[in-house]
Structure 1
Amino acid sequence: MQIGMIGLGRMGGNMVRRLKAGGHTVVGFDVNPESARDVDGLEALVAALDAPRIVWVMVPAGKPTESTIDALKALLEPGDVVIDGGNSKYTEDRNHAASLAERGIRFLDCGVSGGVWGAERGYALMLGGDRETFEYVRPLLETLKPEGEHGLVLAGPVGGGHFAKMVHNGIEYGMMQAFGEGFATMMKSEYIDNPAETMDSWREGSVVASWLLDLFDNATEHDPELADVPAVANESGEAKWMIEAALELGVPTPATAAALWQRQTSRGGADDILRVVTAMRAQFGGHVTKVDEIATH
């Protein structure tokens, strides 16, 4: 098939590689003139594609996605398809779909997982939209997904793809947090000589065997105690969205919430909180730290 790809960064660029290797024709555009783009603007991209066109948007969520979809609305024709493969919030998808539908342009939202390894391993794809449009673009999706029967799903109507990816990332947060807590516990214990080697042993035959554990082994191969890794973890926002959605649905998500709070704490947001706690403990119980030497009254 033929497809236009907007956004040629770490994800978009690797997806283009996989699509081309699968025999598809890709016209790529990125705002960065030093990227491997084929055209220098959206108008040129649309002009280079045969109707009905398929355009995949792989740019940061929020204003970049909004402005790109608005521009495509004015350039595309009835019957064309826009796929939002970024990490947009699921609640935004219906607005995008309704806006594009005013001009007869079809819309799919797609949650994409696979990271920088996707070009070789394939991507897990979660789509939201109608079945007819999904089947129309399916040859592209089959090329992007891993080999085998899994890795591709029409999760539900518009918004379903990004909702599924949001939940996927929330689960990912919890899994990584659990591995981290296990590693930290073994690091402190006199009973474990090599925590990294111990966790590496779980990669086969264990119920916790996973690709995340494989990646942990990669990370600790030359730094078994992760001494050179900063103790800071950013969060993309999707776990926060999942917790908000779960609260609205009445679903308890303590593991995901704990993992999110831990990431936020790692960025120093808790420093002032802990200073307040330490100050109050010093006031009522004389729990003075050696560092602070807080005076009690």
Structure 2
Amino acid sequence: MKMGLIGLGKMGGNMRQRLRNAGIEVVGYDRDPALTDAADLADLVGQLGDSPRIVWVMLPIQAVPETLATLKELLGEGDVVIDGGNSKWTHDVPNAELLAEKGIGYLDVGVSGGVWGLENGYALMVGGSKENVAKALPIFEALKPEGPYGYVHAGGVGAGHFAKMVHNGIEYGIMQSYAEGWELLTAASAVDDVPAVFESWQEGTVIKSWLLELCVRAMQEDPNLDHIRGYAEDSGEGRWTVEAGIDLAVPTPAITASLYARFVSRQEDSPAMKLVAAMRNQFGGHKVLAEDENSRDDASDRLGEGAAGRAKA
């Protein structure tokens, strides 16, 4: 089997290798001349031979519209384009309709696995028609992990990216829970070895997971995380999950809170917390730190402050 793959970054490059390891011939294109197998998209499509030709797009959301417009002119009846990037699910039906004008099929595939996918395989959530899925099935079988799980035909066009969006929203909530637990453990004088506590949770507990294993790995490299700034970006899918919850009237408090926590991480000095501190000072006489004062009350002061604050409130 032969296919095209556009975008050979951290995930795309590893996907190309995993596919080749499975015996699938991959013609990759990337703007980096050190990575690409084709001079341009026309050259890539030309190397694929006769229809049905399959081209997998693994690009940032901003680059997808232009790429699909170009592929529409290069491909034809019976060919299939797969968008495997983190595209917004609401874009999928318009993308499919655009390509359908030339008889080109479209699949949206949510892909999870990160930099470990080459070794472990990629979890794939696929949206599109059964006919188009059948054409690409050998590709999915090569990319997915070994065993019965890690692949699902989730539904029609848009279902794959919607499922991946919800997956990432859940991921936000789990990561935030581990992070808050870590901070609480490090704040407690009763616990001497926080990394060892996390390590012990890897077996016999209901919270063991791959994310927990990655927490342990990070702490092994930097036990107190001293070399990491507390700043976290979001890929966009957490925001889309919250928006979908609003649109469908489905409450998502944990996912929403985890997204907002990432926003807080980007503020050097939260404007909102300035006013909270000012109000606490006004009603309870609680200490207010100056702009250049970084010290915090010790644990005993904070515990005492809670009782005093409640009395004064």
Q: CA deviation at 1:199?
A: 1.0
Q: Output the CA distance in 2 between the equivalents of 1:4 and 1:53.
A: 8
Q: CA deviation at 1:31?
A: 1.4
Q: Deviations over 1:13-66 (max 9, x none)?
A: 0000000000000000011223x211110000010002210000001013x011
Equivalent residue runs for 1:220-231 within 5 Å: 220-231=219-230
Q: Output the CA distance in 2 between the equivalents of 1:43 and 1:269.
A: 47
Q: CA deviation at 1:275?
A: 2.8
Alignment partner, residue 66 of structure 2: 67
Q: CA deviation at 1:277?
A: 3.5
Cα RMSD for the two superposed structures: 1.6
Q: CA deviation at 1:287?
A: 4.6
Equivalent residue runs for 1:125-274 within 5 Å: 125-268=124-267, 271-274=270-273
Q: Output the CA distance in 1 between the equivalents of 2:220 and 2:114.
A: 20
Alignment partner, residue 22 of structure 2: 22
Paired letter, 2:30: D
Alignment partner, residue 275 of structure 1: 274
Paired letter, 1:120: E
Q: Output the CA distance in 1 between the equivalents of 2:268 and 2:165.
A: 23
Alignment partner, residue 110 of structure 2: 111
Q: CA deviation at 1:205?
A: 1.5
* Range with bigger deviation, 270-279 or 25-34: 270-279
Q: CA deviation at 1:286?
A: 5.2
* SS, match of residue 28 in structure 1: strand
Q: CA deviation at 1:284?
A: 6.2
* Range with bigger deviation, 138-147 or 191-200: 191-200
Alignment partner, residue 36 of structure 2: 37
Unaligned runs of 5+ in 2: 293-313
Alignment partner, residue 78 of structure 1: 77
Kindly, what percent of the aligned residue pairs are identical?
A: 51
* Range with bigger deviation, 200-209 or 79-88: 200-209
Q: Output the CA distance in 1 between the equivalents of 2:164 and 2:5.
A: 20
Asked if the contact 2:92/2:157 (under 8 Å) is kept, the reply is yes
Q: CA deviation at 1:289?
A: 1.5
* SS, match of residue 45 in structure 1: helix
Alignment coverage as a number of residue pairs: 291
Unaligned runs of 5+ in 1: none
Q: Output the CA distance in 2 between the equivalents of 1:270 and 1:124.
A: 38
Q: Deviations over 1:197-231 (max 9, x none)?
A: 11111111211111101111111113112111110
Q: Output the CA distance in 1 between the equivalents of 2:96 and 2:268.
A: 37
Q: Deviations over 1:79-127 (max 9, x none)?
A: 0000000000000000000000010000000000000000000000000
Q: Output the CA distance in 2 between the equivalents of 1:100 and 1:269.
A: 45
Q: Output the CA distance in 2 between the equivalents of 1:222 and 1:269.
A: 26
Q: CA deviation at 1:136?
A: 1.5
Q: Output the CA distance in 1 between the equivalents of 2:3 and 2:289.
A: 63
TM-score (norm 1): 0.94
Paired letter, 1:97: A
| Residues 243 and 220 of structure 1: CA distance in aligned 2, closer, same or farther (over 3 Å) | same
Alignment partner, residue 119 of structure 2: 120
